[in-house]
Amino acid sequence: MKELRLMKGNEAMAEAAIRAGFDGYFGYPITPQSEVMEHLQKERPAIRTGMVVLQAESEVASINMVYGGAASGKNVLTSSSSPGISLMQEGISYIAAAELPCLIINVVRGGPGLGDIQAAQSDYFQAVKGGGHGDYRLIVLAPSSVQECSDFVKLALELANKYNNPAMLLSDGAIGQMMEKVELFPQQPRWTLEEIRKKKPWATNGRLFNQERHIVTSLHLIPEKLEAHNNHLQAKYKEIEKNEVRYEEIKCDDAEYIIVAYGLASRTAQKTLQLARAEGIKLGLIRPITLFPFPKIPISTYAEKVKGFLTLEMSAGQMVEDVRLAVNGRVPVEFYGRTGGMLPAPDEVLAVVKNVFKI
């Protein structure tokens, strides 16, 4: 029997965290995502599933609680918004280096600085290129609906555990705050002790008799060892790029021009498509769902067929660079964006398409 609810994106992510079988959540209030922890505390998952929910003294403490929990073999997550995620960057770098599976949710708000609390996509670089120190990557999923907010929490946990790598959900203030119909997936059991021992033999949760003890660290003082570790990480990221790219294509088969947009901006783009098609303009949309691994191949393939791309972002232009890399100069890759939490309107975007491509 389908479980349908009308929920905010933030609430859907919280509910999904309980249902995905997470063991712990550690977070700190920040608009526009405080409902994640509010929902979790209201639902008392300690009774429902035994899940630990703890409000920390800061985002720095939160991400380090996630580090400790993940290093002990538990499935843990945190959520925050842009300024908070900036505070978490050192911790995230440690987590990526120590190869600890976990989920970090970023409900992006207008920046830079204190900015505002409206929706934005200006954390793309931080999420996809790595906002902390060192060469590392997060698996980054970009939901564009409340349904995807719920589904991607479950998917992110699976991918994080599959690759022993932190995963990030890159949502935004609008998706977090808007209410939509969502079908909730059934409760998944939390991992048993045996499952933790089997699937995470490296975890530090008290070694069993005569099992050798474990160390979780990101310290490798000998350069040869650190380089070998880096090579290992890079090989893993190649593997993720090979296997885990996810994207959506709409009306690209006959498209002469394609918009590339993710999350909220992709919803605006879909309306722009309708308006364009009504005027006989062959416009298509590629919506990256995984921002890392980025869908280079489909974009590169279409670069052989279309006359140009327009990247639409709620930022000053970040993903556009990855689109340009994929297109590699074969056709123009234009950019249109609004910042500060402003939302681009569908007709506004259509006007830009017509203008830049002289239609």
Partner 1 sequence: MNIEMIKPENLVYTKTKLMTDNALSYCPGCGHGTAHRIIMEVIDEMGIQEDTIGIAPVGCSVLAYEFMNIDMQEASHGRAPALATAVKRLWPDKYVFSYQGDGDLAAIGTAETIHACNRGENIVMIFINNGIYGMTGGQMAPTTLPNMKTATSPYGRDVKEMGHPLKMTELIAQLPGTYYVTRQAVHKPANVRKTKKAIRKAFELSKENVGVCFIEIVSNCNSGWKMRPNEANIWMEDNMFPFFPLGDIKVDGQLITK
Can you give the binding site for partner 1, defined by CB under 8 A? 23-24, 26, 52, 54, 56-58, 60-62, 64-69, 71-72, 74, 76, 90-91, 94, 98, 204-209, 213-219
**Smallest distance from the beta carbon of 203 to partner 1, in angstroms?**
8
- The residue whose two tokens read 């099992």 is 211
**Smallest distance from the beta carbon of 28 to partner 1, in angstroms?**
11
**Smallest distance from the beta carbon of 194 to partner 1, in angstroms?**
15
**Smallest distance from the beta carbon of 149 to partner 1, in angstroms?**
24
C-alpha closest to that of 335 among 355, 351, 357, 313: 313
Compute the distance between CA of residue 10 and CA of residue 105 in angstroms, rounded to an integer: 10
C-alpha closest to that of 173 among 112, 111, 119: 119
* Beta carbon nearer to partner 1, 89 or 230: 89
Compute the distance between CA of residue 42 and CA of residue 180 in angstroms, rounded to an integer: 20
Structure tokens at 247: 């994207």
CA trace torsion 162, 167, 173, 178 (10° rounding): 10
C-alpha closest to that of 258 among 245, 248, 273: 273
**Smallest distance from the beta carbon of 170 to partner 1, in angstroms?**
23
* Beta carbon nearer to partner 1, 73 or 295: 73
DSSP secondary-structure letter at 7?
A: E
DSSP secondary-structure letter at 74?
A: -
* Beta carbon nearer to partner 1, 26 or 257: 26
* Beta carbon nearer to partner 1, 64 or 315: 64
Structure tokens at 237: 């990221």
* Beta carbon nearer to partner 1, 87 or 275: 87
**Smallest distance from the beta carbon of 61 to partner 1, in angstroms?**
4
- The residue whose two tokens read 């402003």 is 342
**Smallest distance from the beta carbon of 173 to partner 1, in angstroms?**
27
Compute the distance between CA of residue 259 and CA of residue 240 in angstroms, rounded to an integer: 25
∠55-58-61 over CA atoms, to 5°? 85
Note whether 204 and 216 are within 8 A (CB). yes
**Smallest distance from the beta carbon of 328 to partner 1, in angstroms?**
39
C-alpha closest to that of 169 among 179, 160, 178: 160
* Beta carbon nearer to partner 1, 87 or 178: 87
Compute the distance between CA of residue 6 and CA of residue 231 in angstroms, rounded to an integer: 45
* Beta carbon nearer to partner 1, 7 or 63: 63
**Smallest distance from the beta carbon of 165 to partner 1, in angstroms?**
18
* Beta carbon nearer to partner 1, 57 or 254: 57
* Beta carbon nearer to partner 1, 65 or 141: 65
Compute the distance between CA of residue 99 and CA of residue 116 in angstroms, rounded to an integer: 33
Note whether 216 and 71 are within 8 A (CB). yes
